[in-house]
Structures are given as C-alpha cells and as structure tokens.
Amino acid sequence: MTISAKPKGIVLVSGGMDSLVLAVFATRESDIALLHVNYGQRTEKKELACFRAIADHLEAEERLVVDIGYLRTIGGSALTDPSLDVPPADPDRPGIPATYVPFRNAHFLCIAVSWAEVIGARNVYIGAVWADSSGYPDCRPAFYEAMNEAIRRGTKDESGIRVRVPFVNLKKKDIVLMGKSLGVPFEHTWSCYREGEKACGRCDSCVLRLRAFAEAGVPDPLPYEVRPAG
C-alpha cells in the first residue's frame, strides 16, 4: 500500500464553481475528503446533485453529507426563508444583502473541524471570496483568522488543524481562469439562488458568475432563463 506524503484535507464543496475549482486546487497539496452541508436552502437538491457529480469526477473516496436544516427554521435569509423573496440582482449595492444566511460559514467550519479531528485532517478548505463577492460578513479574511485562533484553542493540541481560504482575495474572473487551466467540469456546478431547471440569470449570484465568465473570456456552460446584457 502506498502511503501519501500529503497531509489530509477536507474541502467544503457547495456545488458552486468556486468550491469545484478549490477542490481540484486542493488536490495538489492534500489528500482530500469532501464535505457538503444541506442547510435548508432553496436549491438544496440541485446543489447536492452537483456535489455528488463533483465528488464522482474527483473519484473522492471520503465524502460526507451533513444536514443542518435548523438554519431554515431560524430563517432570516432569502435563501432559507420561503416568506422572503430572492431580490433582483444588484451586487454593487451597499450593505449586507437579504441572501446572507446569518453566521452560516461558522456552522460549516465547525462541522468540518469536528470531522477533521476524527479523520486526522490538517487542512480545512473553504472557497470564500471577499474581494469580488456579495459582501457577506462571514467571508471576511479577519473572520477566518479569528476562526483559526478558536480552532487552535478548542481542539486537541496535536491536531494542527487550520482553515485555508486560498481564494479569499481573488477576483471571480481569476477563479474561472484557474478552473479553465485545471480543466474543471463547470457544467457540474450551480450558483443560482433560485430553484429551477435553469439558472435564473437575475439574482446576485448568477450576475456575479456571468460577469466572471465574461471577464475571463470563457463560455459558461450552464443554461440560463435570462442572460443579462454586458
């Protein structure tokens, strides 16, 4: 049996384009295990199907799907509360958008770190983007610095677990270009905030994704109900 010299790493894979590129990127430095979290979001079924397609593409032997549907019960976000509409796209608006799920990434990281302690993973990767994003506070670089300090204080001394956010200061265009260079299957991803057979093309996430592909000069393989001009 061949023993890998790489440390083990857990990659949080939502099924979106950033997490797909991140998972392939992470294989260069870690033996990866893939984690997907259902949190009561509108697009839960679509995202789970994308996660499974990505995991199959990467031939990931270790994969875990966890359900924290209580975030839907808590509500407070247009992604989880059916009484709140997903707003039309305006990614340059000031303030925190209605699609922010309160402290969601902290929940994700706590699950990933718990699993990391069990399987002996050193790295936990999350595809958070701050420089070119919707402005969610749990995507700020300082948040991940604070989480790493909490992990250091709250896990076994020998665990050595760290959260890695290699894309946090990248533009989404750069992530698309990286994905193209790595040959990732963008057709297996979903970014839209609304459920449907086609991406809506009208929410912040669709507009940011389409903008990134256009700036990168790479065709987006997903079908859209509407493709905004420009």
Tens digits of per-residue pLDDT, 32-64?
999 999 999 999 999 999 999 999 999 999 999
- Rounded Cα–Cα distance for residues 199 and 119 (Å): 36
- Written as six digits, the tokens of 199 are 């991406």
Given a contact cutoff of 8 angstroms between Cβ atoms, the answer to whether 112 and 16 are in contact is no
- The reported pLDDT for the residue numbered 208 is 94
Nearest Cα to Cα of residue 178 among 145, 128, 143, 213: 213
Percent of the chain residues past pLDDT 90, beyond the cut:
92
Given a contact cutoff of 8 angstroms between Cβ atoms, the answer to whether 89 and 127 are in contact is no
- The reported pLDDT for the residue numbered 94 is 87
> Confidence class of residue 135 from pLDDT cuts 50, 70 and 90?
confident
Q: What is the mean pLDDT of residues 137-158?
A: 97
Percent of the chain residues past pLDDT 70, beyond the cut:
97
- The reported pLDDT for the residue numbered 1 is 47
- The reported pLDDT for the residue numbered 3 is 58
Q: What is the mean pLDDT of residues 98-103?
A: 96
End-to-end CA gap in the chain: 53
Q: What is the mean pLDDT of residues 74-98?
A: 93
> What is the tens place of the pLDDT at every residue in 189-199?
999 999 999 99
- The reported pLDDT for the residue numbered 230 is 54
- Rounded Cα–Cα distance for residues 132 and 207 (Å): 12
| DSSP-derived pairing of the beta strands 8-12 and 31-38 | parallel
Residues in contact with 225: Cβ distance below 8 Å, sequence separation at least 6, in sequence order: 196, 198, 199, 200, 201, 202
pTM, 2 dp: 0.95
- Written as six digits, the tokens of 101 are 């799920």
Q: How far is CA 228 from the centre of its chain?
A: 24
- Rounded Cα–Cα distance for residues 161 and 119 (Å): 11
